[in-house]
Amino acid sequence: VTPPYVLLGHSMGAVLAYEVAKAWQASGRPEPEALYVSGSRPPHLYRGEHWCAGLDDDALRAETARWSGGSRMSVQSSSPHQLALLRADLAVCRDYRWTPRAPLSCPVVAFTRTADPIATTQQMGGWADYTAGPFTHRVVTGHHFFLYEPETSDHVRSALRSHSAAPRTDDGDSQ
């Protein structure tokens, strides 16, 4: 990745994006212009919970429907392949252990959904401790998988366009 760049992570991807930024920082590479996180507790709140451990496929489908508020994400997660991927993601979250380190210096922007049962508004506010730079916390209506909902994903695209690392069209305008 060539600077400038931003990182965006949702759910488990938020912790992954944070860890990538920290690894690059530790290796002397430039930090992202900003770290965008959504639908994820901050890293220190991952404590090895066994989310959905032992649930059969029907119960896991019901749980994803609860997370999504019945959006199309719950339909997408109904195939055996999707359930296997979800179980693998949940295992990574269960096994993740945060290592205390100095905060990033780049801005962190956190998106919280009003009805997200996985990462509450209060928990998402904890991302402020992961930056020595500016912290922005945006609360939008929706459930955990709000990025799949056009009316709320527009908020994220708008925020991303505010950075110089945003993709450009041939005429120089932000996409």
Query: Distance (Å, rounded) from C-alpha 125 to C-alpha 134?
Result: 13
pLDDT for residue 151: 67
Low-confidence ranges of the chain (pLDDT < 50): 168-175
Q: pLDDT at position 107, please?
A: 95
pLDDT score for 165: 54
Active site (catalytic) residues: 11, 144
In this prediction, residue 113 carries a pLDDT of 84
CA separation for the pair 2, 110 (Å, rounded): 24
Query: For 1-41, what is each residue's pLDDT tens digit?
Result: 778 889 999 888 999 999 999 999 999 999 999 999 998 99
* Long-range contacts of residues 64-70, Cβ cutoff 8 Å, at least 24 apart: 66/117, 67/116, 67/117, 67/118, 67/143, 67/144, 67/145, 68/143, 68/144, 68/145, 69/115, 69/142, 69/143
pLDDT for the residue numbered 118: 83
